[in-house]
């Protein structure tokens, strides 16, 4: 690990003042940043410790919402009575992450700002990673990319964002009813199943010529085979929970 200066911020203004110094980084729970510094993925000339800056409160807002302090721990946020009562999906998302020990240290701000889990980014033994070494290329494009993005990616980087908290707070595709297109079309931080998640696929083409469907005359049976799947899953969810969900996707919030 390289040497660095360490400063403890008194409050938010002090933190911002310290962060203006060259090559400074905020330190919260340290569960992501310190690992990356130890393995030489990231370095900093100065760490600005936010833990005593008084940013850990969870308070109700005037319009009935909740203000989650950036330094509130993931476990405190998940177990806060107002979060449990009003935002159970947030509690579930937080408790799905890491382990109790990590959640006791990890903060809301740090969770949202954590770096990608792309293995090429996290291991300097791999020389090619544009995110770690700009201009070096992206090893994931042709390498191990099972958990990477297939939508919203760029030629420079296909990494996804790993935060469970971020998923619960931010993921929703809004459709434009006039055009049927996604309005928030940037899915760079969205985890979706990729080809590698599907396993083996058999392609069966019906052994007869169909002069109507296309000029090749080929007729596949894929769509006929899968039209019932969503309905079958919907029925299974109904039998398991007693809740009938009539619009897709069937997400946890529709069952609560």
List contacts with ligand SF4 (CB under 6 A). Answer: 116, 118, 120-121, 129-131, 138-140, 148, 157-159
Residue 53 or 118: the one with the smaller Cβ distance to ligand SF4 is 118
Tokens linked to 142: 């042709």
The C-alpha atoms of residue 122 and residue 110 are separated, in whole angstroms, by 17
Write the interaction track for ligand FAD spanning residues 81-100; mark x where CB under 6 A is met and - where it is not: ----------------xx--
Minimum CB–partner distance for residue 16 and ligand FAD (Å):
10
Q: In what order do the strands lie in the sheet with 5-8?
A: 5-8, 46-49, 24-27
Say how many C-beta atoms besides its own lie within 10 A of residue 65's C-beta: 12
Count residues contacting ligand FAD (CB under 6 A)? Answer: 26
For residue 33, is it left (φ>0), alpha (ψ between -120 and 50) or beta? alpha
Point out which span in 30-38, 130-138, 143-151, 209-217 binds ligand FAD (CB under 6 A). Answer: 30-38
> Residue 29 touches which of ligand SF4, ligand FAD, none (CB < 5 to 8 A by kind)?
ligand FAD
Site track for ligand FAD across 130-169, x = CB under 6 A:
--------------------------------xxxx----
Residue ranges that bind ligand FAD, judged by CB under 6 A: 25-33, 50, 70, 97-98, 102, 105-107, 109-111, 113-114, 162-165
């Amino acid at each position: 690990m390289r040497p660095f200066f360490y400063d403890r911020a008194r409050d938010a203004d002090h933190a911002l003042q310290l962060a203006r110094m060259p090559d400074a980084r905020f330190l919260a729970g340290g569960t992501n940043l310190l690992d990356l510094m130890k393995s030489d993925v990231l370095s900093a000339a100065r760490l600005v410790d936010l833990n005593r800056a008084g940013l850990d409160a969870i308070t109700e807002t005037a319009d009935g919402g909740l203000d989650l302090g950036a330094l509130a721990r993931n476990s405190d946020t998940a177990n806060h009575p107002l979060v449990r009562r009003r935002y159970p999906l947030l509690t579930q998302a937080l408790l799905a992450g890491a382990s109790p020990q990590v959640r006791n240290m990890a903060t809301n701000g740090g969770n949202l700002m954590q770096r990608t889990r792309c293995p090429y980014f996290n291991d300097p033994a791999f020389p090619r990673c544009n995110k770690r070494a700009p201009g070096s290329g992206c090893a994931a494009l042709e390498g191990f990319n099972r958990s990477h993005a297939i939508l919203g990616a760029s030629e420079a980087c296909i990494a996804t964002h790993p935060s469970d908290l971020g998923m619960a707070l931010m993921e929703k595709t809004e459709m434009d009813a006039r055009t049927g297109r996604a309005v928030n079309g940037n899915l760079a931080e969205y985890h979706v199943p990729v080809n590698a998640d599907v396993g083996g696929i058999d392609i069966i083409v019906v052994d007869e010529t169909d002069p109507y469907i296309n000029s090749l005359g080929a007729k596949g049976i894929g769509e006929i085979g899968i039209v019932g799947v969503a309905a079958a899953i919907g029925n299974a969810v109904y039998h398991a929970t007693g809740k009938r969900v009539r619009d897709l996707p069937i997400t946890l919030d529709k069952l609560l």
